[in-house]
Amino acid sequence: MFALFKRILWTLRRYLRFFRHRSLSSYHIPHTDERYITLAELYTHFGRGPLPAELVKHIARDVLEALAACEDQGIVYGDLDWEKILLSTQDLDWLASWYCGDREDSDLASSATGRTTQLPFDAAMPTVFRLVEYETGGGVSPIPSTPLGMRPPEVILGIPLEATADVWSLGCIIYELLMGEPLFDPSFQTVECGLSTDESHLIQMIEMLSLDGFLGFPEDLVRRGRDSERWFSADGTLRLETTYYPVTLRDILYRRLSGVDVDEIYEFLDGMIWLIPEERTGVRDLLQSRWITA
């Protein structure tokens, strides 16, 4: 029984002509007229379920390299989401050939659930996934539109964005690609409990990321936010009275993933999802992480 991953990539490869003539979503990248589809569209073709870890690693590496290039130009991308990560039809053809081989019955032992992953990844593989390019001279990209669940806490608190905001958003994307569900769901219990999406999001961050048994945000982070007083008391606790159900990223990954390098994946994601922006691992260090270089 062929993996869902293999079947769909093979189907996409067969119908590349369809994509070339009926672009689902196209962007004009400076200096080229090539058409692109987005990671969101590719993910939708997989039923928005878990992708094989080695393919996710390829996506992570390519996006990190693009973010490193932004840093070199003094640009804080600041608006990272599914729609900003692109795949050309030519690169999709290469991707299908690499992971599926030239024969539909080529040997791939991988399940879309992530329980086994024997897909070939090589650090020397070419760049396939790319970012939308903004024609700005530096600074923060215009008109941020990051989906609610991928926003870092500094967006809600009203703290100016730095490059580490992109690290957080990418961590949320990588988690969802691996797990088939979002890391944070701001719509959770908004109807049942009368919460706003920001309140629900903040509660989930506190449940997962609070340290040393303290259920709240670090005081120095709260002090820096223009909008912090709307949500937090001076000691970092939410003004909203609620019941917390703490859970750790480590527990989720080790419970849900098997047959992959869970230690390395946890180490990678754990460095990206920190409340304090300065404590997140930088993009170049992430490129040298065990998971990416293995």
What is the set of domains in the chain, with CATH numbers?
A: 4-288 (1.10.510.10)
**Is residue 97 within 8 Å of residue 13, measured between CB atoms?**
yes
Please, which pLDDT band fits residue 104 given cuts at 50, 70 and 90?
A: very low
Distance CA 203, CA 113 (A): 28
| Residue type for position 32 | T
**Tens of pLDDT, residues 160-191:** 999 999 999 999 999 999 999 999 999 998 88
Rounded to an integer, the average pLDDT of 270-283 is 97
Higher pLDDT, 230 or 142: 230
| Residue type for position 6 | K
Q: Is the pLDDT of residue 272 over 80?
A: yes
Distance CA 47, CA 52 (A): 13
Q: Name the token pair of 239.
A: 């003004």
Looking at residue 10, its pLDDT comes to: 60
Please, which pLDDT band fits residue 122 given cuts at 50, 70 and 90?
A: low
**Is residue 145 within 8 Å of residue 214, measured between CB atoms?**
no
Looking at residue 251, its pLDDT comes to: 95
Q: Is the pLDDT of residue 290 over 80?
A: yes
**Tens of pLDDT, residues 128-155:** 888 886 554 444 544 456 688 999 999 9
Rounded to an integer, the average pLDDT of 253-280 is 94
Q: Is the pLDDT of residue 66 over 60?
A: yes
Looking at residue 78, its pLDDT comes to: 82
